[in-house]
A and B are shown apart, each in its own frame.
Chain A
Amino acid sequence: MFDYETLKLIWWVLIGVLLIGFALTDGFDMGAMALMPFVGKTDNERRVAINTIAPHWDGNQVWFITAGGALFAAWPMVYAVAFSGLYWAMLAVLFALFCRPVGFDYRSKLENQQWRSAWDWALFVGGAAPALLFGVAFGNLFLGLPFRLDELLRSTYEGSFFGLLHPFALLAGVVSLSMLSAHGGAWLMLRTDAALHARARIATRLCSLVYLAAFAAAGLWLATGITGMTLVGGIELGGAINPLAKQVSATNAGWMGNYATYPLMRIAPLLGLAGGLIALLGAQLNRGALAFIGSSLAIVGTICTAGFALFPFVFPSSIDPASSLTLWDAASSHKTLGIMLVVVGIFVPLILAYTLWCYTRMWGRLTDQSIEANPHGLY
């Protein structure tokens, strides 16, 4: 089996994989619902948009739940510090997500227009708010979060929800929202036709443009205006976990250190930009599949860009740099990481296989006629 140091690194990759899995799958659910009230003008159009994701959104959402569970299992300290510190942000995400299971199932069970319209806006919130807030949270990682650990490793958080709304973090929120909306728009281009398809195409074009501008702007801001951290020493990569032993210096201009040390990492931001351009091109040429590939690449590129820049940090502290959590000192024990790797190795390929089967079974364009043919069976 792997040594402890290697396992810690593997788990950094795996957490990234789960986050990317979540953003790729649930990302288009959230994006499609963020766009739904605007691209769907009639009740049937909105139902078409909802029913493109109806069979899949619940499975997709499990990527999010599993990422939470995996964080708990592999990085318990991050799970503890992040969710308690970002208490209100986390609750806001949860409350927004509450709207989805009930929104999907209940919306079309009654024919009342007000009922349906209320659920449409609930589904909009359930899509747009998490997409925005995840970005804001990620943005705050670059700024550091105001927490410290005491000698018994209990964390105290000294900020508030409003403290998270730094302009850079809001810009990161725009990156995330526009990226996932472009992804949702591309999905709708693939799965719908007629007027809804045409409006989804416009939305995809617009969101890709916003994404490209915001992603580039965030990169420039980071490079010129924000100072990151460097791990100086005091850490035993393969040793027992002790977050307080390390020394950290705040000298990493723009979190760009890793990109200078490991030039290969520059692929990530380039992939993000290329993905955005391909999504734009796909929308321009009216090729849904191309746009969807583009938005997917943008997601992979963006998440990797953030992860690579922060490496080896995963949850930096702004008030007590030594309390910052890194992949080396926030992990579970050697044994737990090993067991969980085996579990992931067995189940993730299985999950991908049966998920793919479900998508192929349900594939095809949905139209107004599909809704009219089965008004009581569909959402």
Chain B
Amino acid sequence: MISESVVDLSRLQFAITAMYHFLFVPLTLGLAFLLAIMESVYVMTGKQVYKDMVKFWGKLFGINFALGVTTGLTMEFQFGTNWAYYSHYVGDIFGAPLAIEGLMAFFLESTFIGLFFFGWDRLSKVQHLAVTWLVAIGSNMSALWILIANGWMQNPVGAEFNFETMRMELTDFGALLFNPVAQVKFVHTVSAGYVTGAIFVLAISSYYLLKKRDMAFARRSFAIAAVFGLASTISVILLGDESGYEIGDVQKTKLAAIEAEWETEPAPAAFTLFGLPNQQEQRTDYAVKIPYVMGIIATRSLDKEVTGIKDLIAQHEVRIRNGMLAYGLLEQLRSGTKDAATIAAFNVVKQDLGYGLLLKKYTPAVVDASDEQIRQASLDTIPHVATMFWTFRAMVASGFLMLLLFSLAAWASIKRNAENKPWLLRFALYSLPLPWIAAQTGWIVAEHGRQPWSIAEVLPVHLSASSLTPGDVWGSLAALITFYSVLLVIEMYLMIKFSRLGPSSLHTGRYHFERDSAQALTVSGAQHV
């Protein structure tokens, strides 16, 4: 057995590297589309200011993109380095979308991004526009494939356990592609990316408007971001992936944990606006509830129940006992007893094998688990409720704040008076962290909510890790945190520097710091390029 500390450290490493990667990904997703929209306007109107917008926001896009690529490398190889048993156990299914992501999306995005930056003088206007759109489409397709992979972890459809190869194998590729959980995740995640791109452009444009410089440039950027952002925010909220939470047992468990719903309530369930979940006592203290709302959000109906945590635990205990049978039969099959009766008996209970594997944490032999160990394992099937409860509410609160911001900003753009509303511009500027808060807490809900599974109902996290030593993972974790932190500081430095400089950094001679020669010398002089 691999030690618990290797599992915990590997989890921490994966969480940190994935969350770090996702600082850059949503901005890439959103900015890529904004660049494509801006350039489309340029090609249609022929106005130079739109080309300058593409080039300037493209410069910031590049600074962000570099770290997205850097941190993405880790993700592609980390399943193998730190989750070797996972890779063996589900690689037959999980590997395919990752490989397809490379072939279909990364190649497209990464091949054309070079032409986006360096092809301005070598391509016709329309060719360059096509290149920009291909970059945007490529980055969105990569989101599609990685979310198909992730959706399968949450709701593993189209696959079956094969005792001869001791792994899960693909049975239905279509089911993997059209996994409903993956679909809602994709729409929700890319929309969140568009919101991130929109807030980024909106906030920085507001800064220029507040400083009263490069007004024509900033006003147009503000308007495009406001409209694009409003549409995207509405899409994120309406297509929140809570709608995927009625499919599959682990998704249901997540939902119950998000709402801290201990008992199954009559439909439609109430939404707990506030409360202090107490996992020990299995109750929520000081709960403030809004009737009906949760039932409608979660099940999109008035008559479907949302199963409570206590009932889920009871269901899971039954499945764990079935899983013990499955594990015992698997051992017989692996040791060579492959008669039809054993295979038939195994097939009856094999969908609960994963639940049996939950006991490996307590007893390596599984079949000899005591009642107390079974009870403990069934309690393990519920993620930490308070974490789920609060991260979800942080995400939703950020979402609604952004909806308010974009509504006001879009209205001001229509009225053409945003620059006369310093309070709105400040609101936009200080809202810059919101999409990142929403995205990070959203991923905590999705992935912490998957615990204790790496593949829902199939493979527990504590079996998935590589046979490494704690020293190995401590070392890599320390090295990654150090290296990533240094890179983040450098990235933020460049990002802030070029954001402050604005379109003057293009050296076209048309913008603020270049026209005011005194300032040009001090701010955009020799040290800036």
Contact = CB atoms under 8 A, between A and B. Distances in A.
Contacts of B133: none
B96 A336 contact: yes
Interface residues of A, number: 75
B95 interface: yes
B476 A66 contact: no
B118 A69 contact: no
A160 to B, nearest CB: 10
Contact of A362 (B93, B118, B164, B491): B118
A152 B334 CA distance: 9
Given A84-B81, A87-B468, A242-B164, A76 B87 contact: yes
A51 B117 CA distance: 11
B80 A336 contact: no
Contact of B466 (A66, A84, A104): A84
Interface string B330-344: 000010000000000
A330 B77 CA distance: 18
> Chain A binding site: helix, strand, loop or mixed by DSSP?
helix
Given A84-B80, A109-B494, A110-B527, A152 B166 contact: yes
B101 interface: yes
B128 to A, nearest CB: 10
B82 interface: yes
Contacts of A260: none
B118 A54 contact: yes
Contacts of A105: 62-63, 65-66
B490 A81 contact: no
Nearest to B62: A105
B165 A73 contact: no
A281 interface: no
B17 to A, nearest CB: 10
A331 to B, nearest CB: 9
A264 interface: no
Interface string B486-503: 010011001000100000
Contacts of B117: 54-55, 377
A106 B494 contact: yes
Contact of A69 (B88, B95, B120, B123): B95
B112 interface: yes
Contacts, number: 255
Contacts of A68: 76-77, 80, 102
A84 B483 CA distance: 21
B66 A351 contact: no
Contact of A102 (B70, B92, B96, B112): B70
B428 interface: no
Contacts of B468: 84, 87
A80 B80 contact: yes
Interface in A103-120: 104-106, 108-112
Contact of B115 (A55, A72, A82, A348): A55
A336 B66 contact: no
Contacts of B122: 361-362
Interface in B106-121: 106-108, 110-115, 117-120
14 contacts: A59-B114, A62-B110, A76-B88, A79-B80, A84-B468, A91-B476, A102-B490, A106-B63, A109-B494, A335-B169, A336-B92, A340-B96, A361-B115, A361-B122
Given A59-B110, A76-B92, 16 more contacts: A58-B114, A69-B98, A69-B100, A72-B91, A79-B80, A79-B87, A80-B85, A91-B479, A105-B66, A111-B528, A152-B166, A335-B170, A343-B99, A351-B107, A361-B123, A375-B529
